[in-house]
Amino acid sequence: MTSRHLLDTLERQIGAREQCIVAYQNMHGMHLSYTDEAFYALHQRANSLVFIDGFPIYALCKLLGYPVQREQRITGNDFIWPLLSLAERKEWRVYFLGSSQAVVDDASAVIHTKVPSLSFRAHHGFFDPDTEGLDVIREIVDFDPHLVIVCMGMPVQERWIQNNAGGLEQTSICAMGAILEYIAGAQPIPPRWLGPIGLEWLYRLARNPRRLWYRYLVEPWLLAGHVLRARMRMEKSRL
């Protein structure tokens, strides 16, 4: 789907107060689909929409013959402000969950500046789900948001959504990774021209090699092994 299609779908679902869960898929997510049950389960929910985030997913779709177009790749940095502008116009209440308190404070200031009429609250993501998780859910329920944007990174955010979506039946939920850090300026946004040529990952790796080397340099090979074994099982089942 395109950004416009995704916005239209959210507008329709939120207008009806019917829950819609929005997730995204990239190469890291594909690897997690084989190794994390909650992550995989969230993507299989009947009310989940999963859009293409990583350029390699777009390239794989083209390779497999799916009629995808470049505009069907959506990134959080390109999607967040049209989404929040729509929320402001529609008078939706938005709840952000994730990142550190310092990032939440800085991001909130930016959001207030860019969409001053938006009704929103934000809570950091560094809480103990066993001892503080229920308090966070109560705060969300009391605020009664139309949309919750979860910014905890893969697969923590997917696990949180999978575990808590049932208690927020009239609230739509979006997984948005590190979007609060980008809004706050805690992480630099990759030059937008790198996206269409599939090199955003290289920019991120160069900026943070210690944290991302395994994701970008090892996981693709592990994923290739998963895919090869799945292909072999399919071929064997046809015999």
Across the strands, what pairs with 150? 97, 175
pLDDT score of 224 more than 90 = no
Share of the chain above pLDDT 70, in %: 100
pLDDT one-digit tens code per residue, 191-204: 888 887 878 888 88
Distance CA 177, CA 153 (A): 4
Tell me the pLDDT tens digit for each residue of 116-142. 999 999 999 999 988 999 999 999 999
Instruction: Please give the model's pTM, rounded to 2 decimal places.
Output: 0.91
- Domain ranges across the chain: 3-177
Residue-wise pLDDT tens digits, 19-30: 999 999 999 999
**pLDDT tens for residues 34-43?**
889 999 999 9
- Confidence band of 155 (pLDDT split at 50, 70, 90): very high
**Cα separations (Å) of 194 from 58, 63, 154, 179, 210?**
15, 21, 22, 18, 21
Structure tokens at 100: 């550190």
**Which CATH architecture fits 3-177?**
3-Layer(aba) Sandwich (3.40)
